[in-house]
Amino acid sequence: MQGSTKHVVVKRKVSVIGIGAGNPDYVTVQAINALNQVSVFFIPNKGTGKAGLAKLRREICGRFIRGHDYRMVDFDTPSRARTTPDYSQCVDAWRDEVEQVYERLLVEELDDDEEGAFLVWGDPSFYDGTLRILDNIRSRGNIELEYDVVPGISSVQALAARHKVALNRIGESIMITTGRRLAEGFPDNVGSVTVMLDAQNAFKSVDGEMDIHWGAYVGTEDEILVAGKLREVCGEIERLRAAAREKHGWIMDSYILTRPEDPEEV
């Protein structure tokens, strides 16, 4: 019919699979079952320094997928401009760009009868944008998108397990935050806080009487763990971070800070 264009909506199915935070042994049975349903794995390139992360995703597929063909599609993730003073505006623009990349992948790299997957480091619900990206793509309406989520072992759980500590003090809340937030001040209402995504050594800004359980590359063969009174180990952690970043080109580390128990409260 002249003058009218038909808007074709494509149908796609993907899984978002948490693969654990660095050790292939963290991959769950549910994740293995999901991996074995997938035809196309989308593998983000996050810069040459982080080639190890893409390598781990490939290793996991090689180790756990049996008896069916699949292919890998590498893609470049746009990097975030860090120059604008408006953080949320900067994140919005970057997210929009990322969504376009994902939408193109889903349309062009996946056939109607194939299932795709994004392998998410750790667990998809801990500081990872994949679920939000897919939700927004679905809202745009160009793709009828169905997706499942498989939980993974987050770096938070891996860190707590390696240090053999709980994340909360008795009866208190668990708080997980970022280095950026911690730099604004230690939260008032909790005795313990777990910190991820700290590029600035934000732990230096808090009371040195706190205990810290710190870990880098937890679960991998490069794992480094340090625990102690913050004022005693702060300098060592700072040195280890700088040396590890220099050696590997990137670092993934997190830590748990705990106020000393008040004996009168126990």
Ligand X SMILES: C[S@@+](CC[C@H](N)C(=O)[O-])C[C@H]1O[C@@H](n2cnc3c(N)ncnc32)[C@H](O)[C@@H]1O
By CB under 6 A, residue 154 contacts ligand X: yes
Q: Binder to ligand X among 21, 53, 230, 256 (CB under 6 A)?
A: 21
Q: Nearest distance from residue 199's CB to ligand X, in Å?
A: 8
By CB under 6 A, residue 177 contacts ligand X: no
Number of residues that bind ligand X (CB under 6 A): 21
Cα–Cα nearest to 193, from 249, 47, 203 = 203
d(CA 64, CA 27): 9
Considering only residues 35 through 94, tell me which ones interact with ligand X, judged by CB under 6 A.
none
By CB under 6 A, residue 155 contacts ligand X: yes
d(CA 231, CA 208): 4
Q: Residue type for 54, please? A: A
Q: Nearest distance from residue 78's CB to ligand X, in Å?
A: 15
**Candidates 60-68, 70-78, 231-239, 250-258; binding stretch for ligand X (CB under 6 A):** 250-258
By Cβ distance, which residue is nearest to ligand X? 122
Using CA atoms of 24, 28, 29, 35 in order, give the dihedral in degrees to the nearest 10: -70
Q: Nearest distance from residue 11's CB to ligand X, in Å?
A: 28
- Residue 215: CB atoms within 10 Å: 22
Q: Nearest distance from residue 167's CB to ligand X, in Å?
A: 13
Nearer to ligand X, 122 or 143 (CB): 122
List the x/- string, 107-136, binding to ligand X by CB under 6 A: --------------xxx--xxx--------
Cα–Cα nearest to 192, from 262, 254, 255, 256 = 256
Q: Is 164 left (phi over 0), alpha (psi -120 to 50) or beta?
A: left
H runs (alpha helix) in the chain: 29-35, 51-64, 87-108, 130-140, 155-163, 179-182, 230-248
Q: Binder to ligand X among 27, 117, 252, 256 (CB under 6 A)?
A: 252
Nearer to ligand X, 154 or 192 (CB): 154
Cα→Cα distances 79→128, 179, 182, Å: 15, 20, 24
- Residues 6+ away with beta carbon under 8 Å from 37: 15, 115
Nearer to ligand X, 116 or 122 (CB): 122
List the x/- string, 185-224, binding to ligand X by CB under 6 A: -----------xx-----------------xxxxx-----
Binding site for ligand X (CB under 6 A): 21-22, 121-123, 126-128, 154-155, 159, 196-197, 215-219, 252-254
